[in-house]
Structure 1
Amino acid sequence: MAIPFSKMHGLGNDFVILDCRAQPLTLDAAAIRRLGDRHFGVGFDQLLTIEPSTDPRCAFAYGIWNRDGSRSGQCGNGVRCVAAWLARDGALGEGLIDLMSPSGPVRVERLPDARVRVDMGEPRFAPATLPFDVAEERDRYRIGLPARTVEIGAVSMGNPHAVIEVDDPAVAEVDIIGPQLEHAAEFPRGCNVGFAKVLSRSAIALRVWERGVGETLACGTAACAAMAVMHRRKRVDDQVEINLPGGTLGILWQGSGHPLWMTGPAAFAFEGVWHE
C-alpha cells in the first residue's frame, strides 16, 4: 500500500501529515509505530490526519497519534502545521477559522509572516479534567517517584500536563523524571512533563517529555501549560515567550475566564510516499 504524506515541523517537533479527507485512516497502532520509526520508517513525534469535520461549525477535523501508536487529545505545534498544510492546499480561508481537534473546536489564524495563531482554549486545572487522581485541586502537588519526590503544577490543555519548576532545564533529569512521572499512578492516562525555569516576567525556558513520544525539541501544549501554571502562581505577566530547544513560542493568557493564545511557526520539510 502506497501512502502519500507530508513531513512538517513546528520548532523541530516533527509530524507526518496524511490527507484523510476522502478516505479514513486505515493504519493500526503497529503500522503507525512502523511509520514513526526513525530508522526503518519516516520518523515523527506525532502522526496527524486531516479529515472532514462532522461539526458544521468547523472547516476540517484532525486526528493525532503519538509515535507509540497511542491517541492524543491535542497538539499545539501540530495544529499550526495542519493550518499551514490546509492553507497551502487552498482549503483554509482568511481570518479566524475553526478546526475540530480530538478535544474539541480550535480556532486558528494564519499571520502574514507565515506564523499561525491558535486559540488553545482556557487552561483547566480541575484534576478530573486531566485526569489526575488526587483528593483536591491545589496550586502545587507532591508526587512520589522511584527517583525522588517532585513538586508539580497540573493542568489540562486538551491533554494532561505536569509542570516542574527547575533551576536549569539544561541539566534537568528529563529522561529519568519524565517517564516516571508520565506513568505515575496519579495520572491514569499518563501525562506530558514540562521542566520549566522562569527567566523573567515575560520569559520561561522549557524542556519537555511528551507522553508516548519521549523528549521533543518543542511541544506547543506544554508551552501553554508552563505559562498557565506560572501565571496562576503570579510568576509571569499575561504575555510570555517560551524558549524551547527548537525555538520560541509566544503565549498570551489574561487569566481565568479568558482563552489562551499560542503563536508560532509551521514549516514544510518534504513530501513522500511510504510503502506499507
Structure 2
Amino acid sequence: MSTFNQPAGELRLFKYHALGNSYLILDPRDWQNEPELIETRGGVPQPASRLVRTLCDECWGIGSNGLLFGPIAPTGAGHFQLRIINSDGTPAGFSGNGVRIFAEYLRDAGYARTGERFNVEIIEDAPSGNATRNFAPVHLVGGDDLRIDVTIPQAPRFGMAAIAANAQLVHANDAAASRTGISFTVAPLAAIGSRLTGRTDAWPSSTLLDIGNPHCVTFLDSKEPLPDLATLHAADDALRSIAFRPDNTRRDQAAFANGSNLQWARVRDRAHVELMIYERGEGPTMASGSSASAAASAAFARGLVDAKVDVIMPGGTLTIRIDGTSDRISAVTLSGFATRVLDGKVDRRALAVRRD
C-alpha cells in the first residue's frame, strides 16, 4: 500500500524525469472516484485522453513528455500493472525511461524496496481494440545513484514486418538487408534529410526493429553531423507524418502503419553511440530509454559495437547491456536512475478545460 496520504477532495499527481525525459504519474488509488476523468477499457481503467493532453501541455497543464497510470490493480508479489501514455493521449507501448521512472515511484511510495526484483506489466490498447501486454523485468539495484535496471519486454525483432512498414515507401538496400532487416531506405525520411542537409544521398540507411514498441534507427557516418534539437523541431510537421500513428484513413499511405519512434545514430567507437530522438506521439526528446535500447541493439546487430554500450543523448547517457549474438539478440537491459521533480495537487478547474 502507498505510504503517501492524500487529503479528501484533492487530486494528487507526481512528476519525475530520467535524463530530461519527463513523465507525470497518476496513482489509481488517488483517482478512483473520478469517473469523468478515468475511463475503463477492456475492464482496465485508464485516464481519459483529454485529461492526458491537458496535464501534459505546458500551457494548459503541468507539462510532460507523457503520463504513467499505475499501479493499476492489486496483483501478486513482484508484479505491477502500468499504462504508458504519450502526451498526445495515444498509448506508448514500452518506454524504458517510463518504466524506470515508474520503478522509482514504486520505491518512493513504499510499494517496493531497494534490492527487490519485480515485473512491470505494460497494458496497451491495440488498434484492433484488444489489449496487448508486455512484461518488463526490473531490478532496484541501489548504490550511490539508486541505479535501476530495466530489461526490455522482448528480444528485438528486425525488419519491415516487425514495425508494419509500407513496402511502397520502405526499401531494402540489398538482398541481405531484406533477409536480416538491418538496412533500409525510408523514402519520406530520406527526402526530409535531403531537404535539411542539401544532399541527395542523406539518411539512406535505417534499421527497423520492435522491442515492445516500433523503432527506425538511421545511421550516419562518423563525419556526418547529427540533426540537433532545433533542426528536429523545425522539421516537426514532416517528421510527425512519419512518426505519429496515422488515422485509419491514412494507414495505407503512411511509411509505418502504427507510426514509429525515429532515431539518428552515430557510432563513436565500439563502446559509445551518439543519438538524437524523435518520439512517436511526442516529438523531439532529450532522452529515451527504449530509443537508446533500440539504437544499441541495431548497432550491435550491424556489428558496430560490443555488448556493453553507452548511448549518449542530449539529456545524458544510458548504459545498455546486450545478451546474445549479432544475429540473435536474446535480451537487452538498460541501466540508469530517475528523479522526482514534483509531488503536488491539480486544481479541478484546470481539468474542466477541454483540449483537443
Same fold by TM-score, threshold 0.5 exceeded? Answer: yes
> 1:139 Cα shift?
1.2
Q: TM-score, normalised by structure 2?
A: 0.72
Moved more, 25-34 or 49-58: 49-58
Structure 1 residues 21 and 260, CA gap change in structure 2 (3 angstroms): farther
Distance, in Å, in 1 between the alignment partners of 2:78 and 2:256 is 31
Match of 1:8 in 2: 16
Matched pairs, number: 276
Structure 1 residues 58 and 229, CA gap change in structure 2 (3 angstroms): same
1:189-225: CA deviation from partner (whole Å, max 9, x where unpaired): 1111011110110000111000111111101100001
CA contact (8 A) 2:148 2:336 kept: yes
Of residues 6, 27, 31, the one that matches 1:19 is 27
Match of 2:266 in 1: 197
Q: Structure 1 vs Structure 2: percent identity of aligned residues?
A: 28
Distance, in Å, in 1 between the alignment partners of 2:61 and 2:75 is 34
Match of 1:80 in 2: 100
Distance, in Å, in 1 between the alignment partners of 2:19 and 2:74 is 30
1:153-198: CA deviation from partner (whole Å, max 9, x where unpaired): 1111211100111222254853426334315723111111011110
Distance, in Å, in 1 between the alignment partners of 2:311 and 2:138 is 19
- Where does structure 1 lack aligned partners over 5 or more consecutive residues? none
Distance, in Å, in 2 between the alignment partners of 1:155 and 1:3 is 39
> 1:66 Cα shift?
0.7
Of residues 185, 208, 216, the one that matches 1:162 is 216
Which structure has the higher relative contact order (CA within 8 Å, separation 6+)? 1
Amino acid at match of 1:114: L
Distance, in Å, in 2 between the alignment partners of 1:158 and 1:55 is 22
Structure 1 residues 200 and 50, CA gap change in structure 2 (3 angstroms): same
Q: TM-score, normalised by structure 1?
A: 0.91
Q: Rg: which structure is higher?
A: 2
Is 2:153 the counterpart of 1:130?
Answer: no
Match of 2:120 in 1: 99
Match of 1:48 in 2: 68
Is 2:330 the counterpart of 1:258?
Answer: yes
CA contact (8 A) 1:58 1:100 kept: no
Match of 1:108 in 2: 138
> 1:52 Cα shift?
3.5
> 1:129 Cα shift?
3.2
Match of 1:142 in 2: 185
Moved more, 223-232 or 49-58: 49-58
CA contact (8 A) 1:57 1:98 kept: no
> 1:110 Cα shift?
1.1
Give the match's secondary structure for 1:260.
Answer: strand
- Where does structure 2 lack aligned partners over 5 or more consecutive residues? 1-8, 40-46, 124-132, 172-177, 195-202, 245-252, 352-356
